[in-house]
Structure 1
């Protein structure tokens, strides 16, 4: 009863705060609905960035990978902090100066409206196929493994999964459809506070248990006895995340995701000014450096505690088993509410970004160019409803065998490399043409699909023979290869037929773009701390 009361209490608290903060807002314009009226402050941006990214697939999936391999998987978090520094110092000033609502809007300004439409469709396709249903399913699967929902309600596991998919999806949809970005960001922030508290409680309580009440003693025991697990370079045989990918595809992945991905960048685009936006992004980067303590260290602690009970094939049970072992009954409801909040935060954030892309990039460009603010907002709401229903219907049909986190990243990588090549060349060159950009966005994903999915086994054999190795070539290396190939293709096409118009950044005065005076200093500190992780933990 206490667990249910705390679950309902925290979930209701989030809803009440979100409603209270947005009840007087008028959602009758694009800026108001899609960018929170360009009024978001640093802490709201930071909280929303963190919760848009983190969910149960991280808690269960990455901790499971740490259980089976090493802490090298923390690279997904630590290198993200470096990419966020790049966002704050380079990308965000350019975005806010241009008064952008979406990333494809930049491509329209730089190239042409057709490029914008293609980019909007690709973003939407990746969200609909690779994120919305995946987040719901992995969230439901994680909640089932953590809290035995099926046993609690006396139903089958498949029924419990369906119930949670539709429950979380419906609740998340309400924030995105009726509240717009501001309601989403505020709910993310409150859930983010809960996520940090609950996420850090698990390793702290576990280490206290290992050390018989001595936190540092428990950490020392785990580190001493499981020393190989703490090799951050990933130099284990058949490494799950080889150190080399940090210098190839990981760079492409993180720069795209944190610097140019609509569902992430949209939070910073809603900043009241550049200084608040930069502070928000850099605060979130600091939170990212806490990530390994929440989504990697518990996996190693679980290995120390349960390695004689759980085999490699049971790795997905590592984190749930740790939670059930160390979490007091009084905190079960709060922890469940935080986990549900993490799932719906990611879902409603991506849903809001999908609506933004459709309304601004498809509806306004192709269907109703003369639409006023109310019509555009209405189209976004209809889009959200359709996508939410589709995601909830198809989520339980996805195959979840293998690494949950790797599965999501591999699908996303199909679009990341080519899209980043187009955006980066659009920003850094003058002669790359719209034709080249469109060719890159269409052919790049096709090339990645052929290399990794359609002919993956044959390509692996060929590359292993070429490189003289028996190790599987990590998909992140192929991501970097496709990025380079797409870039080379666009440069070659543009040499044959260069751009005919010259693009110049225009300051729209949508917000004040005076930078935060401590931005560079904070960026340097975050970068140094990230590098120290690798210096201190390399073996």
Structure 2
């Protein structure tokens, strides 16, 4: 193990931790708002950096570069189309959440339908964290760290045992960070890691192209764009793993859900000091998504030329980093990957504690006639976070045995939880008389039907198209229930805002520019651009 790489990795990681410590050492974490929402004090730099870093976990580094290596650039569609989804969230959903003073996204469902619907959705969120988010983050980070540091070779361990040990280390460090620091410590670290990620991405592309061009970056660009052109195409064909048409069906639904309803993502924006800062922060995260291919996709393209045949394609990104970068920069990139994993892991843990304490434990105490004091709510959330970490540590190494690739695992499993919640949220937002029973029927029907189409009935359709069809059918079912069993009095959204709701004045100009740049990225990586 190269001592320079290790020193660089530890230095960058320690700097980020120390900055977070000194910035938050005087804060009190005795109330749910201070622990889970950072006292609603986050500015747009913190919100944007945290949203971007929370999304840019080791899962993305490993999964997207593997996809590009084995298929093409069509996986870029997830990130690029999310820009449109984020702008929709900033304009339409954040004003609603902040107007009702929401702590969790299911809080809206409690007001729109009933507390039982809120609890059902909270359980769905927590199941998603148990089964998908937390284990996959731990696994992805372990794969990346082992690929960069070659821990298995250094200590003579089996690959599975190495991944298990690294999963334990990452899980314990991340859990301690969340339990002791709360949301504000997480977001401050994300700002530092975001700067490191931008620097690391530039270094990877620069050194990768220079390595590919035998010392010349320009020759590297010519080789990258002149050979293996099929990998440069981001416009997936109908029979590809990710057809371009899915951008307008299930992918759009999942992205709006992810950026506007997924608790561990939205919680960063809910902690803003006002609506304008929230909208600015989301726009800043959109800028991050425009440059994300430097880390998530271009390394996979370079690897296509350098490694014609890799047995374990999940190691594409760490192998490239280990082979082309100077030791000091390798340590920086390893710290960025580690920080990205911790960011997502910490956000997931923080949100799971919020959902459990506020939406499950607190109502349970109140039904028992007990006082749900703030100290008890914070303690219960912390205990739940520790339990979730322990379960995820046990489960996550076995993800390596899933057939179909790591990234495919992430998206397919998350669909069981995302679009059902999205459907009832949309119906709740757009209607006033659809009753609570419709939301429960909608969730049950959607999950059952999607399970049948994935494991019992072969429809021949892409799973993202199936999600869109089920969204439409479920919506119709809920509207029919509302037609024949409407609520006695129409729903009216009551304001309980804890922050200023004045929107960002110039947001629409920035939104238009971001959409144009998003379209430009698709044109660049298409048969009309460099993939001609």
TM-score, length-scaled by structure 2: 0.94
Equivalent residue, structure 2, for 1:530: 518
* C-alpha distance 70-517 of structure 1, shift in aligned 2 (>3 A): same
Task: Give the stretch that moved more between structures: 279-288 or 200-209.
Answer: 200-209
Mapping 1:336-485, distance limit 5 Å: 336-368=334-366, 370-398=371-399, 399-452=401-454, 454-455=455-456, 459-460=457-458, 463-464=459-460, 473-485=461-473
Corresponding residue number in structure 2 for 1:116? 118
- CA displacement 1:176-228 (0-9 Å, x = unmatched): 11211111212222222222222332122111222344434422321122322
How many residues matched? Answer: 521
* Secondary structure of the structure 2 residue equivalent to 1:229: helix
* Distance of 2:158 and 2:241 partners within structure 1: 33
The yes-or-no answer on 1:46 pairing with 2:48 is yes
Counterpart CA distance in 2 for 1:325 and 1:390 is: 34
Q: For 2:276 and 2:41, how far apart are their aligned partners in 1? A: 12
Provide the rounded CA distance (Å) in 2 between the counterparts of 1:142 and 1:479: 31
Q: State the match for 1:241 in structure 2.
A: 242
Give the corresponding residue for 2:314.
316
Once the two structures are TM-superposed, the CA of residue 321 in structure 1 deviates from its matched residue by 2.7
Q: Distance in 2 between matches of 1:227 and 1:393?
A: 41
Q: Residue in 2 aligned with 1:516?
A: 504
Report the Cα distance in structure 1 between the residues aligned to 2:154 and 2:341, rounded to whole angstroms: 20
Q: CA RMSD in A?
A: 1.6
Farther-moved stretch of structure 1 (217-226 vs 30-39)? 217-226
- Counterpart in 1 of 2:530? none
Aligned mates of 2:419, 2:255 — CA distance in 1: 10
**Structure 1 stretches (4+) deviating beyond 6 angstroms?**
none
The offset of 1:12, in angstroms, is 1.3
Task: Classify the secondary structure of the residue corresponding to 1:514.
Answer: coil
Q: Which moved more, 1:193-202 or 1:101-110?
A: 193-202
Equivalent residues of 1:418, 1:440 under 8 A apart: yes
Deviation per residue, 1:33-72 (Å, 9 max, x gap): 1111000111111111111111222112111111111111
* Displacement of 1:5: 1.6
User: Per the alignment, in what secondary structure is the counterpart of residue 292 of structure 2?
Assistant: helix
Contact 1:103 1:262 (8 Å CA) reproduced: yes
Q: Which residue of 2 aligns with 1:180?
A: 182
Measured at CA, do residues 314 and 141 of structure 1 come closer, stay the same or move farther in structure 2, by a change above 3 Å?
closer
Decide which moves more: 143-152 or 177-186: 143-152
1:367-418 deviations in whole A, cap 9, x for unaligned? 3463122111111111111111111122223334431111011011012111
Cα distance in 1 for partners of 2:386, 2:323 equals 39
Q: Deviations along 1:227-259, whole A, 9 cap, x unmatched? A: 2222221128x4121111111111111111111
The structural deviation recorded for 1:314 is 4.4
Give yes or no for contact 2:147–2:322 (8 Å, CA) kept in 1. no
1:100, CA displacement in angstroms? 0.5
Q: Which runs of 5+ in 2 are unaligned?
A: 528-532
| Kept after mapping to 1: 8 A contact 2:59/2:136 | no
Which sections of structure 1, spanning at least 5 residues, go unmatched?
465-472
Counterpart of 1:470 in structure 2 is none
**What's the CA shift string for 1:140-187, capped at 9, x where partnerless?**
123222321112233332222122111111111112112111112122
Give yes or no for contact 2:352–2:385 (8 Å, CA) kept in 1: yes
CA contact (8 A) 2:57 2:337 kept: yes
Does 2:151 align with 1:149?
Answer: yes
Per-residue CA deviations over 1:428-465 (Å, capped at 9, x if unaligned) read 1111110101111233112111111x31xxx32xx34x
Partner of 2:205: 203
Aligned to 2:232: 230
Q: Which residue of 2 aligns with 1:503?
A: 491
Whole-Å separation in 1 of the counterparts to 2:231 and 2:164: 36
Corresponding residue for 1:469? none
Q: Which has the larger displacement, 400-409 or 431-440?
A: 400-409
